[in-house]
Amino acid sequence: MTADPRLRAARAADLPALLALEARFPGDRLSARQFRHHLANPRARLRVAVGEGGLLGYHLLLLRRGSAWARLYSIAVDPAARGRGLGRRLLADAEARARAAGCTGLRLEVRQDNAAAVALYEASGYHREATLPVYYEDGAPGWRYARSLGSGMTKGLRRLNAGAC
């Protein structure tokens, strides 16, 4: 039996593995330049899932100044690691990071033809907020989903993190 992948903050040394993972997907890939930008951006949370086979997935969460809503900019799971709940773990981790930053909701975009991701988001309580025609670089349409993260934070923590989203 293999150990569950460990989730941790991404670091510069992860860049080759992140790029290799991105290369497994058609179009709309993050570039090395974009990953480097997000690694250095204090308003970004780039987290990776690392297991016995190396980097198995990641999520990129963006916190917006002056907004109570965070944006899940990207989430990816290595096709060889699918079916083990890793996408659900990465999504839950992104939500936890958004809550910790004082955010009250999370938004994301997804390709309409990505049935597995749509099923994950809907099963996790996300609701479709908008249709995005010709949204992706290949002209594919998308959907915007959103979910309230609730008010599970104490007032003190909320004050401490004010303006973080």
Nearest to 73 by CA among 38, 118, 125, 48: 38
Question: For the segment 34-72, what is each residue's pLDDT rounded down to a tens digit?
Answer: 999 999 999 999 999 999 889 999 999 999 999 999 999
- Considering the segment(s) 6-160 as one domain, its CATH architecture is 3-Layer(aba) Sandwich (3.40)
C-alpha dist (Å) from residue 160 to 1, 69, 108, 150, 164: 42, 17, 25, 17, 9
Q: For the whole model, what pTM was predicted?
A: 0.88
pLDDT at residue 54, rounded to an integer: 95
Confidence of residue 23 (pLDDT cuts 50, 70, 90): very high
> What residue spans define the domains of the chain?
6-160
Share of the chain above pLDDT 70, in %: 90
**Ramachandran quadrant class, 28 (left: phi over 0; alpha: psi -120 to 50; beta: rest):** left
pLDDT at residue 26, rounded to an integer: 77
